Structure 1
Amino acid sequence: MFDTILLPTDGSDYAEAAAETGLELAATHDATVHVVSVADSGPLGDLRLPGDAASAKEAIRGRAEEYVDAVLERAEAADVDVTGTVLQGPPEHELLEYARDNDVDLIVMGTRGRGGVHRMAMGSVTDHVIRFGDIPVFVANSESAVEQE
């Protein structure tokens, strides 16, 4: 049913829960997994990083590579066919473009489940992918991640 599954990751507990679900689905369907993290260094990127803009971008990209590598290791341990990459730009747009360009059959994402004013003010990558994509999206939420908030 699914030949290619996209697993976006940002290193959060929610993304980890989605990765677990996505890897199980991939193993069940003998699918290839594409693990992607988007290094968003735009004006709303990770503003907590010290230093100049170039070193901040480098640090953001380094974090994204670590997130991808962690999921790649889990996929390889589960004997799942996997590839990984780091993209640059607005996550909601980069993920949809990557999914279309790579004939993805399913996107498995995590979400914080925030709604109301917070989502309207900050936006939601998962919400955008669901609304504007034409690929099925499986949204995973971890009870342990929710409890930590």
Structure 2
Amino acid sequence: MQFNHILVPIDFGEPSLRALDAAISLAPKFGSTITLLHVSWLPPPVYAAYAQGFAWPTEEMERSAREELASVLEKTRAEYDAVEGLVVTGEPRQMILDVAAERCVDLIVMGTHGRHGIPRAILGSVAERIVRQSVVPVLTVSAKPGHSGHA
């Protein structure tokens, strides 16, 4: 299988940075382009009733994400230069799948936080949903060193 374009969703936490390392290891073997995708998430409108008078600092969040992504891109390009970055706003699972389709991605490499029990039930697992719904292979990279992901 040929992976010409690898998508790496990145939230700047350790699991997503480990996923980026995995993508950087794979990309030269295939001559792949890597797209780093950061999704700025805003709570759904249903939460608006609980946040009366509270304004989400969307512009500041996006600016901060772009700055952090630029820093990661600079470091990544020192190791592998066929990398680009993208910041979008929306529900992470849907945006990852949408960008993968729009950019003709061949592989998604993403970190997992390794949540279990109640935290996972409450927060859900974006990685698990992507694995189930993606039409392209997904490589998950564990939050903990020594644990391998699955495709």
TM-score by length of 2: 0.82
Q: CA contact under 8 A between 1:27 and 1:80: conserved in structure 2?
A: no
Query: What residue number does 2:36 align with?
Result: 35
Q: Distance in 2 between matches of 1:66 and 1:7?
A: 17
Which residue in the other structure is 1:68 paired with?
69
Aligned residue number for residue 2 of structure 1: 3
Q: CA RMSD in A?
A: 2.1
Residue 139 of structure 1 is matched in structure 2 by: 140
Q: CA deviation at 1:118?
A: 1.8
Amino acid in the other structure paired with 1:53: A
Q: How does 1:43-122 map to 2 (within 5 A)?
A: 43=44, 53-54=55-56, 56-122=57-123
Residue 69 (structure 1) shift:
1.6
4+ long deviations beyond 6 Å: none
Structure 1 length as normaliser, TM-score?
0.83
- Distance, in Å, in 1 between the alignment partners of 2:17 and 2:61 is 18
Counting matched residue pairs gives: 138
C-alpha contact (below 8 Å) 2:24/2:80 kept by paired residues: no
Which residues of structure 1 form unaligned runs of 5+? 45-50
**Residue aligned with 2:35, SS:** strand
* Deviation for aligned residue 1:43: 4.3
Aligned-pair identity in percent equals 33
- Larger Cα-atom Rg: 2
